[in-house]
Amino acid sequence: TQLLEQSPQFLSIQEGENLTVYCNSSSVFSSLQWYRQEPGEGPVLLVTVVTGGEVKKLKRLTFQFGDARKDSSLHITAAQPGDTGLYLCAGRQRGNSGYALNFGKGTSLLVTP
Amino acid sequence: NAGVTQTPKFRVLKTGQSMTLLCAQDMNHEYMYWYRQDPGMGLRLIHYSVGEGTTAKGEVPDGYNVSRLKKQNFLLGLESAAPSQTSVYFCASSQNYGYTFGSGTRLTVV
Q: What is the pLDDT along chain A (113 residues), one digit of tens a residue?
A: 568 999 999 999 999 999 999 999 999 999 999 999 999 999 999 999 999 999 999 999 999 999 999 999 999 999 999 999 999 999 988 776 667 899 999 999 999 99
B1 band by pLDDT with thresholds 50, 70 and 90 = low
Q: What percent of chain B has pLDDT over 70?
A: 99
Cβ-based neighbours of B108, under 8 Å, separated by 6 or more = B11, B12, B13, B86
Q: Report how far residue A35's alpha carbon sits from residue A49's, in angstroms, rounded to the nearest whole number.
A: 12
Classify strands A107-112 and A10-14 as parallel, antiparallel or unpaired: parallel
Chain B residues in contact with A92 (beta carbon < 8 A): 97
Q: Of the candidates A35, A40, A97, which has its C-beta nearest B50's C-beta? A: A97
Task: Please provide the average confidence, as pLDDT, over all residues in chain B.
Answer: 95
Residue type, B48: Y
